[in-house]
Structure 1
Amino acid sequence: MKQIVFKLMLLPAMVLPLLFTSCSDDNDSNPTLDLSHAADGFVLNTPAYAENNTYDLASANNLTLTCSQPNYGGIPYVVRYYVQVALDQKFLTDTTATHKELSTSYTTAKMAVDAAELNSTLVDMFLAANPDTSVPETMPVYVRLRAVIDGTADPYLGQSYSNIITLPSVKATYKAPDAKYPENLFVVGSSIQEAWKSWKPVAPVYGMAGNYYTMVYVPDGGTFKWGTYENDWRDFSRLAAVNDNAGAEFSEDGEGNLKVAHGGWFVLHFVGEMTADKKNINYSLNVYPGAAYIIGASAGGNWDDASAAWAMTAPADQTGEWVSPAFGGDGELRAYIKIPGLDWWRTEFTIFKGNCFWRNLNIIDSWAEAGDGYSVACAAGQKLYVNFDKNTAKVE
C-alpha cells in the first residue's frame, strides 16, 4: 500500500475531561483516594491514521495522543502523563526492554507531543544502538504512557502505566547540532614548542566570539598546522583565507602545511564565521608582525595604545624572551599582544603562577578583580620578560 507522509498529524481525540471535585463540609461524602486499581493500567488509544501512514516528525509540529484516565476510585484527579518510547519490538511483551521517557510531560488526556523532542529522542536511541548505521527512512515505534497524580509531595503517587501501542511507520530525521565556537584553537608546527608534538592553545579574543590569537615564531621555510582541538590536524585548505599582513608569503607545502617563506615573529589572528544555518564555522587567518606592549602604571602612566616608547623587544627566535622597557613607575602590570584594529584590552594578559594568563573577564579597574594572584605589582626600573613560545612570564 502506498504510504502518505503527513507533515502535521491531526488525530481524532478521545478525551476524558479532567474535573475538580470539592469536599463537602456537612456530610461524610468526601472522596477517598483509591489506589487499588492503579496497577490495572489505563488505555492509550492507537491513532486512527497510524496503520497505513507515515509520521514525518521532522516536518510536524506535534503528534496527538489520547488516553483514558487511570482509575483512582472514580475521582478525576489531575494526572500528569509521561510519554515513553521504544524501538525494540520486545517492549511489547517486556517493559524492561530499552526505552526512553520524554522530558516533557502533560496534564490532559489529549496531549500534543512535541514532534521535535520525539524526533531527537528516537534518533539518539537508534544511533546509540546502531553507531555505525544511518537512521532508516522509516521505522516502527512503540509507545506507552506513565501516569501519576499531579501536585503531590510523592512524585510517584498513583503511578500507573498504559497499554503499549505501535506506530508502524515513523520517519525520524537526524539533524546535525548547531556548531559552537571552541574554547580555544590550537597550532602545532616545526618551531612551536616541541616540534610537531605540542599543541599550543590559541586564546580567544576577549569579547569577540569566534576570534582567537597567539604569538609564534616561524623561521624561513617553517611550517605549521592548526586545529579546533588537540590532534585536529587542519591544513592550509581548511582556511577560507590567509590574509598576510606581515610579508611572510604563505603557501601550502605539498603536505597541507602552512609554509612561511620569510620567517619571524607573527601574531596569528583566527576569525571564525558561523554559516547561516549554524551548522559549520569557516575560519580565516590574519597574520601580523609580532608586537607586544606594556601600558598604564608600568609605562609611566601612559595609556596610549601601541605606544612605540613602550614596545617590547623581540628575541632572535622562539627560544628567547621578549623584554619590555624598564618600567616607568610603580603600580599594576598591564601588557598585551597587539592586533591592529582591535582595542588593546581585548588581547591583554597578566602573569599567573609564572604563566601568561589571557584576559577572559570584564576588568573594571584591576586584575585583582579576577581573584588572588592575578594582579602583578611593578616597581620603577623593573622589566617584563615573556617567552611567547611557552607562554611563560616574569617581572624582574
Structure 2
Amino acid sequence: MKKITILASLFLGLSLFTACEDDRDSNPILQDPTTFVLNTPAYSTAVYDLQKSSSIELTCSQPDYGFTAATVYTVQVSLNNDFTTEGAYTTLSTTYTTAKMNVDASEIAVAATNLALANGKTETDFPLTTGVNIRLKAALTNGMGAIYSNSITLDKVRVHFALPAVVIPTTMNIIGDGIGGWDWSSNAISMVPTYDNNGTFWRMIYVTAGGKLKFNIEKAWDGSEFGSSATPVDNAGAGLGENDGNLLVNNAGWYLVVVKSAVVGRDIKYTIEFNAPKVYLMGNTIGGWDIKDENAFTVPADGSGFFISPKLIATDEVRMCVKLADVDWWKTEFIVLADGKISYRGTGGDQERYIVNKDKSVYLNFMTGKGKYE
C-alpha cells in the first residue's frame, strides 16, 4: 500500500508540473522589441510625384514581442529628419496592420505641404521638390509595446499644393452669456449674410452689461470660435474689451453687430463692428426710397421691448432694413410675415410681399425673432 501511495504522489506531482508548463505556454510574456527596421524603397532616389501617384509602398520587419501579435503601424513624415521637435514632423491618420503598406500619396502630400508652409514656404512656391523623411511607429492594438523604426529618405519628392482653398464663410453665429448662455443648441443666434454673400454678416442683438460673446461659423465648440482675437470696431460706445478670449461688452444695450471676414494667406481674419441700432422703413408706405432719420424705428430700453416704426403714411407693401456702410439697403432688408416671424432676405431673392394699412406701425423684437403690425 505504501508503494502505491508513493507512486500516486509522484504521478500527481508530475501532472502539476506539466500543467504549470502548459499554463506558461498559453500565457506568453510580452517582451519589449529591440529592433524594428523600415526598409528603404528600391527607388528612393527616383522622383516621386505625389500628384500623379496613388500610393507609396513601404515594408518593414515585424517587431519581436515574444509571440505572434497583432501590430498596428503608424507613418510619420518630416522634411528635415527631425522626429523629436514638436511641429517638425506629422503623424498620418491612416494606420496599417501588415508589414507591407501602401501609404496614400495624397495624405503624404498634405503633410508635406503643411510642413513646408511651417518652414516659411508660401503657396506660390508650389509645386516644389524636396526630400521627405519617413519613419514608422509600431505598437500592439492596446497601445503597449510601442517602438519606432529607423527613418528613411525619399530624395526627390514633388509636392503640389495639397491643401483645399481657404474660402470666406457663408454662415456665422453668436453665443455667450451676454445674450443668454453658452449652449449652442439653445442660446446661439444666427447672423444674417448680406445679399452679396461676401463674408459680411449682421444681426441686431441686445447685450447685457459685462456680457461676453464668441462667434463661430458652426454652432459648435470646434476650435474655430473667436472673440477678442478679432479686430473690434466700437462705433456705438459699447465699451468693447477682452475677457479670457471672449469679446467683452461692458455697456448694456441694443447693437447692430457686423462681422466682416477676409482671407489672408491661409487664415481668415475677422472684424467685429458694434454699430448704433438703427432700423428704417423704406418704400411707398413711408413715402420714399432713401435712408432718412425720420423713417427710423424707436429703440427699446431693454431686450424685451419692441423697435417701433413711424406710422405708415400709405397702404402698401412694407419694406424695411438696416443700413451697412457701402451696402445697398435692399441687401440687408427683412419683413414680418403673417405668422409674426421676422424673415430676413439674406442671400435670397425678393421676399414675399405683405401689404399693411396706413396709420399702422411695425413692431420688432430681434431677440425673440417676432414682429407685428398694429
- Shorter-chain TM-score: what band? 0.5 to 0.7
Match of 1:359 among 330, 334, 345: 345
Query: Higher helix fraction: Structure 1 or Structure 2?
Result: 2
Distance 1:54 1:216, change over 3 A: farther
Match of 1:236 among 227, 231, 244: 227
Distance 1:261 1:378, change over 3 A: same
Cα distance between partner residues in 1 of 2:191 and 2:369: 11
Cα distance between partner residues in 2 of 1:235 and 1:269: 14
- Which residue pairs with 2:251 in the alignment? 262
Distance 1:51 1:204, change over 3 A: same
Cα distance between partner residues in 2 of 1:317 and 1:349: 22
- Which residue pairs with 1:51 in the alignment? 43
Deviations 1:278-325 (A, max 9, x none): x321001121111111110221x22111x1221111222112221111
User: How big is the shift at 1:381?
Assistant: 1.6
Cα distance between partner residues in 2 of 1:316 and 1:310: 19
User: How big is the shift at 1:337?
Assistant: 1.6
Cα distance between partner residues in 1 of 2:288 and 2:58: 71
How much is the aligned-residue C-alpha RMSD, in angstroms?
Answer: 3.5
Match of 2:319 among 313, 327, 334: 334
- Which residue pairs with 1:343 in the alignment? 328
- Which residue pairs with 2:238 in the alignment? 248
Amino acid at match of 1:356: I
User: How big is the shift at 1:237?
Assistant: 3.6
The yes-or-no answer on 1:122 pairing with 2:95 is no
Aligned partners of 1:386 and 1:392 also within 8 Å: yes
Amino acid at match of 1:261: N
Deviations 1:173-200 (A, max 9, x none): 57321122222211112242x4222111
Cα distance between partner residues in 1 of 2:212 and 2:47: 53
Cα distance between partner residues in 2 of 1:362 and 1:183: 13
Cα distance between partner residues in 1 of 2:108 and 2:226: 35
The yes-or-no answer on 1:220 pairing with 2:209 is yes
Distance 1:86 1:295, change over 3 A: same
Cα distance between partner residues in 1 of 2:49 and 2:178: 52
- Which residue pairs with 1:289 in the alignment? 276
Please give the secondary structure, in 1, of the residue aligned with 2:285. helix
Of the two, which has the highest radius of gyration? Answer: 2
Aligned partners of 1:219 and 1:263 also within 8 Å: yes
TM-score by length of 1: 0.55
Distance 1:321 1:54, change over 3 A: farther
Amino acid at match of 2:341: N
- Which residue pairs with 2:364 in the alignment? 386
Of all paired residues, the percent bearing the same amino acid is: 24
Deviations 1:314-371 (A, max 9, x none): 22211222111121111111111232443222211123453322223575xxx3xx4x
Aligned partners of 1:267 and 1:339 also within 8 Å: no
Amino acid at match of 2:285: S
Distance 1:216 1:87, change over 3 A: farther
Distance 1:341 1:361, change over 3 A: closer
- Which residue pairs with 1:203 in the alignment? 192
Deviations 1:139-186 (A, max 9, x none): 7xxxxxxxxxxxxxxxxxxxxxxxxxxxx9884757321122222211
User: How big is the shift at 1:260?
Assistant: 1.8
Aligned partners of 1:123 and 1:172 also within 8 Å: no
Amino acid at match of 2:320: A
The yes-or-no answer on 1:176 pairing with 2:163 is yes
Aligned partners of 1:205 and 1:213 also within 8 Å: yes
Cα distance between partner residues in 2 of 1:188 and 1:334: 29
Please give the secondary structure, in 2, of the residue aligned with 1:394. strand
Cα distance between partner residues in 1 of 2:47 and 2:343: 53
Amino acid at match of 2:182: W
Cα distance between partner residues in 1 of 2:355 and 2:157: 64
Consecutive unaligned residues of structure 2, counting only runs of 5 or more, are 1-41, 60-102, 111-130, 135-153
The aligned length equals: 248
Aligned partners of 1:191 and 1:318 also within 8 Å: no
Distance 1:124 1:383, change over 3 A: farther
- Which residue pairs with 1:274 in the alignment? 263
Which consecutive aligned stretches of 4+ in structure 1 deviate over 4 angstroms post-superposition?
84-89, 124-127, 168-174
Distance 1:362 1:196, change over 3 A: closer
Deviations 1:256-294 (A, max 9, x none): 22122222111111111111x4x3210011211111111
The yes-or-no answer on 1:314 pairing with 2:295 is no
User: How big is the shift at 1:219?
Assistant: 2.7
Instruction: Report 1:141-180 matches (<5 A).
Output: 171=157, 175-180=162-167
Aligned partners of 2:263 and 2:269 also within 8 Å: yes
TM-score by length of 2: 0.57
Distance 1:289 1:169, change over 3 A: same
Aligned partners of 1:137 and 1:172 also within 8 Å: no
- Which residue pairs with 2:95 in the alignment? none
